[in-house]
Amino acid sequence: MPTPTTLDRFLKPADDAAPDHLLALWKAVDDFATHEVHPLVERMESSPDRVDREIARMMAGHRWFGVTVPEAFGGMDAGHMAKTILIHRLACTSGAAAAILQAGLIPVGGLLYYGNVDQHAALLPGVADGSVLMSIAVTEPDRGGHIGGMATAAEWDGRAWVLSGVKAHVGNSHIADLHVVVARTSPPGTRTSQALTAFLVQSDQRGVHPVRYTGKLGLHGFSFGQIDFDRVRIPPSNVLGEVGQGYAVAQSSSILYGRPNLTALSLGLHEAALSLATQYVSNRPRYEGRLADVNVIQDRLGRMSARLIMARILTYHAVDMLDHGLPCDDELIAAKTLGHELAAETGNDAMELHAANGLASDYPMQRIWRDMQTTYAPAGTGEVQRRRLAQSRLEEETGTGTRTQWSVLHSNRTHPPATDQTVSA
């Protein structure tokens, strides 16, 4: 699909002589999705308990897991705009393929921001060439998004950290080579911002046990399952950041990578839903013409089209700000929550336009609708996002805001911040 003119100001260089690298990437991903991913979709849908590994290998061959990794380590160093294009365009064909990529990119943010020189040298080349696929494990079965209430803990025994606990809804849980695991390392009563530590844990370490994967409602082929950690020994060299910086690792990864990644995933599904609905009503006989000729159907399509335009602008505007080093935490939040809401509304409309056929497995609309349900909770539910926006607005109105935005703290940064600035959640 050609790029919509809505996005020209984001994708086309201001200087006509400059290379159109983003437009070229857009086309490359579309070609990959059409020729490599689409033939695998039916197989993934028919086996919801099966974890697909082939798509991750193919994307690794394009070095897309290194889209934000500096060129010095073999990465593309192409920024968040390019990352968004990758996820968005993949999701138009397969939400699962896009989810595999976006989940593998979230922990890369934590490694870039908080990894030390030795960790960068040892790990980033593998991330860039796709030989080291990462995951991030924060959420727990009984705690959900309450990061301050996590029970997974690591204790120092004098020689190593000993990690035990259970993590749930871990993206790429069953195919990742390296997990970023956030655990409690301080006694009860310690402030959350100082109580947690992030660890780099190899998937083949003794005591790391992925629980047998069972399919979820959507994103068949993508694993977001549970991992049990039973007295896993971690050397001090595998602490990511400093001891007590786990909250910062988790939040910065979620806010600066997770939210825009999920926004891009929602956008691709949104676009797919509108495309399928338009094709359906354009070819469905009704009275003496087509279903698309009916006024109320055109009204419905018009509202769906307007939502997609809004979602595109929200998505690309936020990551454009991020790439330019501008304060944009609120824009990332708004894009994530509204991107999902707009997509979900269009998905519901598309299902209704398909009527009973929307429920049939031989129509792809039901797959798109199921996949849409998976983008609501990760990186914060809609209620959490709106609460953050409200807090920001109240602080601005009263002049009481003292927090530094994550997008400011990590602007163009690939190493840990030098200060202990208080940052927004």
Give the tens place of pLDDT for each residue, 212-262: 999 999 999 999 999 999 999 999 999 999 999 999 999 999 999 999 999
Lowest mean pLDDT among 3-7, 14-18, 59-63, 76-80: 14-18
H or E stretch at 271 = helix 259-283
CA atoms within 13 A on the CB side of 162: 7
Could you give the CA distance from residue 164 to residue 174 in angstroms, rounded to a whole number?
Answer: 18
What's the whole-number mean pLDDT along residues 126-136?
Answer: 97
CA distance 184 to 246: 8
What is the model's pLDDT at position 18?
47
pLDDT value at residue 107: 98
Least confident of 48-57, 225-234, 315-324, 388-397: 388-397
3-state DSSP assignment of residue 57: helix
Residue 233, beta-bridge partner list: 162
d(CA 181, CA 164): 11
Q: Residue 402 burial (CB < 10 Å; 0-12/13-18/19+)?
A: exposed
Strand 178-184 and strand 134-137: pairing? parallel
In sign, the C-alpha dihedral spanning 289, 291, 294, 298 is negative
Read off the DSSP letter of residue 219. -
Strands 289-290, 208-210: pairing kind: unpaired
For position 419, what pLDDT does the model report? 44
The tokens of 195 are what? 């109580």
- pTM here is 0.94
For 63: left if phi > 0, alpha if psi spans -120 to 50, otherwise beta; the answer is left
DSSP E strand stretches across 185-245 = 196-202, 208-210, 224-234, 239-240
∠ CA 60-64-70, nearest 5°, is 115
- Output the six-digit token pair for 215: 């399919």
Confidence check: pLDDT of 398 > 90: no
Q: Copy the structure tokens of residue 101.
A: 């990529």
Joined tokens for residue 406: 């994550």
Question: What pLDDT score was predicted for residue 385?
Answer: 87
Q: Determine the Cα–Cα distance for residues 318 and 321; give it in Å rounded to an integer.
A: 5
The predicted pLDDT at position 381 comes to 84
CA distance 309 to 349: 16
Distances from the Cα of 320 to the Cαs of 55, 326, 353, in angstroms? Answer: 28, 9, 34
* pLDDT over 80 (residue 16): no
Q: What is the pLDDT of residue 17?
A: 45
In this predicted model, what pLDDT tens digit does every residue of 341-396 receive, in sequence order?
999 999 999 999 999 999 998 899 999 999 999 999 888 888 888 998 898 889 88
* Tokens of residue 18, six digits: 């400059």
Asked whether the CA dihedral 206, 212, 217, 219 is positive or negative, the reply is positive
Please report where in the chains the tokens 């689409």 appear, as a residue.
Answer: 38
Tell me the residue type at 201: V
Closest CA to 35 of 57, 58, 2, 65: 58
Question: Which among 264, 291, 270 is positioned nearest to 357, based on CA atoms?
Answer: 291
Helix boundaries (H) for 140-258: 192-195, 246-253
Q: Which two tokens stand for residue 377?
A: 């909770």
Q: Which of helix, strand or coil describes residue 173?
A: coil
The pLDDT, as a whole number, for residue 173 is 97
CA-to-CA dists, residue 83 to 70, 97, 266, 268, 279, angstroms: 13, 14, 14, 13, 29
Mean pLDDT rounded to a whole number for the chain? 93
Nearest to 280 by CA among 206, 341, 366: 366
User: Which of 244-248, 330-334, 421-425 comes out lowest in average pLDDT?
Assistant: 421-425
Q: What is the DSSP letter of 137?
A: E
**284: number of Cβ within 10 Å:** 16
